């Protein structure tokens, strides 16, 4: 049973990972829904460029994303410099920066799931609601958003699972600081670099797989239940 007893370092890493992943999803969800709406329903110049930017984290090495975040949002960065000087806000080498890195890497998965769900919404239902006098916002919140629920649930849990597993962008942007930025993947990497760390690394590896599997199973189950309820 000692094998399953997490050390202080491992408990800190798991707790921080859950905290970072939760905040990453919370921060990116509203933006992800709006972006999915723009890509699915919008007609505007630069739409192709926006779509490319949204999906860029999927094709770029995570280390590149982390480096770009560091260049832009570090204390001497183009955006991070003014933020620190005028507002005292620091993102690099903090847990907030880890949240941002995880959110950026998970954002394409969130947007894609929500967009696919939105594209399956029958425009006729929205048109019927408008003929009954409902305004655009009311139509969105009472008709469109509930019909998008399966995609939102799927995207949320996929983004959460992706955020838990984020490594490259995180270690580049916020480093590997125990108790502050050392998430579960970073702690696993650390344990592989120290003598007698194999047992701890295996524990974290198994725990990562279990958390990811649970998130995916919950996502699939909730999506099916919501879809079945909407068809009833």
Q: Where along the chain do its domains lie? A: 8-39+49-227
Q: What's the confidence (pLDDT) of residue 230?
A: 63
Q: Which one is predicted more confidently, 122 or 94?
A: 94
Task: Check the CA dihedral 68-176-189-3 and report its sign.
Answer: negative
* pLDDT tens digits, one per residue of 63-81: 999 999 999 999 888 999 9
- Fold (topology level) of 8-39+49-227: MetI-like fold (1.10.3720)
* pLDDT tens digits, one per residue of 51-62: 999 999 999 999
pLDDT band at residue 98 using 50, 70 and 90 as cut-offs: very high
**What's this model's pTM, rounded to 2 decimal places?**
0.89
Q: What's the confidence (pLDDT) of residue 231?
A: 66
Please state the rounded mean pLDDT for residues 98-105: 96
Please state the rounded mean pLDDT for residues 156-168: 91
Residue 229 has pLDDT above 80, yes or no: no
- Please answer whether residues 166 and 62 qualify as being in contact, where contact means their C-beta atoms are separated by less than 8 angstroms: yes
Task: Check the CA dihedral 105-108-109-110 and report its sign.
Answer: positive
* pLDDT tens digits, one per residue of 103-148: 999 999 999 999 988 988 888 888 888 888 888 888 888 888 888 8
Q: What's the confidence (pLDDT) of residue 3?
A: 63
* pLDDT tens digits, one per residue of 182-212: 999 999 999 988 888 888 889 889 888 888 8
Total Cβ atoms within 10 A of residue 60 = 14
- Please answer whether residues 212 and 106 qualify as being in contact, where contact means their C-beta atoms are separated by less than 8 angstroms: no
């Amino acid at each position: 049973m000692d094998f399953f007893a997490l050390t202080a370092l491992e408990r800190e890493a798991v707790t921080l990972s859950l905290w970072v992943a939760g905040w990453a999803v919370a921060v990116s969800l509203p933006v992800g829904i709006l972006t999915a709406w723009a890509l699915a329903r919008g007609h505007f110049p630069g739409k192709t460029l926006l779509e490319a930017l949204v999906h860029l984290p999927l094709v770029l090495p995570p280390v590149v994303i982390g480096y770009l975040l560091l260049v832009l949002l570090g204390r001497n960065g183009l955006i991070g410099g003014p933020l620190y000087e005028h507002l005292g806000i620091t993102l690099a080498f903090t847990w907030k920066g880890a949240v941002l890195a995880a959110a950026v890497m998970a954002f394409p998965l969130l947007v894609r799931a929500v967009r696919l769900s939105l594209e399956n919404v029958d425009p006729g239902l929205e048109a019927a609601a408008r003929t009954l006098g409902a305004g655009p916002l009311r139509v969105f919140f009472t008709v469109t958003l509930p019909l998008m629920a399966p995609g939102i649930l799927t995207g949320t849990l996929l983004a959460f699972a992706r955020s838990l597993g984020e490594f490259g962008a995180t270690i580049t942007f916020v480093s590997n600081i125990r108790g502050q930025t050392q998430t579960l993947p970073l702690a696993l990497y650390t344990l592989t670099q120290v003598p007698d760390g194999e047992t701890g690394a295996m524990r974290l590896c198994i725990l990562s797989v279990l958390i990811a599997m649970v998130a995916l199973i919950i996502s699939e189950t909730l999506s099916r239940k919501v879809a079945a309820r909407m068809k009833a």
